[in-house]
Structure 1
Amino acid sequence: MKMNPETEIIESLAKIILVAARTAPKGKGIDDIVTFIPDDSEKAELTNKMEELSEIKGLKFLIRDAKNVRDADAIVLIGLKSSGASGLDCGACGFGTCKEMLETRKVKKEFTGPHCMIKYMDLGIAVGCAAAKAKDLCVDNRVLYTAGAAACYFDIVDADVAMGLPLSVKGKNIFFDRPSTR
């Protein structure tokens, strides 16, 4: 008899959660979403880089979030690797035309941009679908800007923008009742 066998399935559940991100609706049917499941050593590197980014940016909540990622059973990273613009000239990116936005020199901080707002919405929908699927599977999770920011800032993932979704299968949700930081 196996004791606590549910802890052995987290990687399979993570892959199912990423299916939800992959199949989420995309603007104009163009899929610029990239997904990643860091192994244990990559997850440890990510948490160290989150702490390093906390020092660089002066944002203490990155340390709290790094602890959450460290304590999580797994983490998935969902990102955007933009291939262009929607061609709608909607102005949501802050430029008059898609052509103007595409010709603008990209800035890289935590994330690289600007990008088409439709692409950013695609990322948000994909992350939301992943979080919803995790909930449906009874896997505790929390969307973390900080994990994605560190992954992009330190080139751990090949994405322009990313969000992290740490996953936990424990008796209590480790992402709830977290100490507040400023």
Structure 2
Amino acid sequence: MNQREVFMDALRHVAKLCAVAAMTAPKSGGQLFLKGSKPFIETVIVEDRETLKRLADWLRARGNKLKAPIWFRDADTTGKLDLVLFIGLAKWYPPLYDCGACGYATCSEFLRAAPTYHAEGSDEWEFPGPICQLRCIDLGIAVGSAAKIASLNNVDARCQTRIAAAARHCGVIEADLAVALSMSVSHKNIFFDKKMPEIIFDEPPASDPAEPSLTR
């Protein structure tokens, strides 16, 4: 193995350990799992350059549509990644605590009302909310657990949401809400000293262009 092969082999191993940490992280409503409810944490590892380029292309298209340079910045970072672990909520369900954090008295009321928020154009949202607040907390704990493993193994990592949105729209993940744990091994951490690019945006066309895989 040359040096690069050693790094990538180690990185794949760490990413798998991060995925395990995300799955075993504490979650609300543990009693539901004892009754047979299925896990809702989705983990997907991507390292092939073709998929990473597809995600970067979507980010640039999104940035051009929104006239926001930060999407181009994240697209540039995506092109430099060695690997990315996506952690998300797929086919999630509330813990049935009726806690009220979502603004509804019961989980049943929330689930009935949620589709009414999906107005015209909602297919283009980064993530199709609303989502149970406790499940969002669960996702945060899972991502934090995974990031801890990356840190303990001296892998440069950064939690990112825009690339996760790209993965959702490009069909790489199924999750309604996700975070990307982007990873890199190099002599200099690529996630620091990132500069906002100066972008000259295209003039708006007569009709919106089709963005790369904007909808699933």
Q: Could you state the TM-score of these two structures normalised by the residue count of structure 2?
A: 0.77
In structure 2, list runs of 5 or more residues that go unmatched: 34-38, 199-216
Tell me the secondary structure at the aligned position of residue 37 of structure 1: strand
In structure 1, list runs of 5 or more residues that go unmatched: none
Going from structure 1 to structure 2, the CA distance change for 1:135 and 1:37 (only over 3 Å counts) comes to same
Tell me the secondary structure at the aligned position of residue 186 of structure 2: coil
The structure with the larger Rg is 2
1:115 maps to 131
| d(CA) in 2 for partners of 1:116, 1:18 | 22
AA matched with 2:145: C
Contact 2:158 2:183 in 1 (8 A): yes
1:140 maps to 156
Tell me the secondary structure at the aligned position of residue 29 of structure 2: helix
Give the alignment partner of residue 87 of structure 2, picking from 63, 78, 87: 78
What is the total number of aligned residue pairs between the two structures? 182
Tell me the secondary structure at the aligned position of residue 142 of structure 1: strand
- % identity of equivalent residues: 36
Q: Could you state the TM-score of these two structures normalised by the residue count of structure 1?
A: 0.90
Could you report, residue by residue, the CA deviation over 1:21-66 in whole angstroms, capped at 9, with x for unpaired residues?
Answer: 1111111125311011124122221111111121233322111111
Q: What displacement does 1:162 show?
A: 0.8
Contact 2:41 2:87 in 1 (8 A): yes
2:25 maps to 24
Give the alignment partner of residue 157 of structure 1, picking from 173, 179, 197: 173
Contact 1:82 1:119 in 2 (8 A): no
Give the alignment partner of residue 143 of structure 2, picking from 120, 124, 127: 127
Q: What displacement does 1:172 show?
A: 0.7
Going from structure 1 to structure 2, the CA distance change for 1:28 and 1:2 (only over 3 Å counts) comes to same
Could you report, residue by residue, the CA deviation over 1:117-159 in whole angstroms, capped at 9, with x for unpaired residues?
Answer: 1111111111111111111110001111111122223433111
| d(CA) in 1 for partners of 2:13, 2:188 | 21
Q: Is residue 2:88 matched to residue 1:47?
A: no
AA matched with 2:12: E
Q: Is residue 2:39 matched to residue 1:38?
A: no
AA matched with 1:15: K
2:212 maps to none
Tell me the secondary structure at the aligned position of residue 46 of structure 2: coil
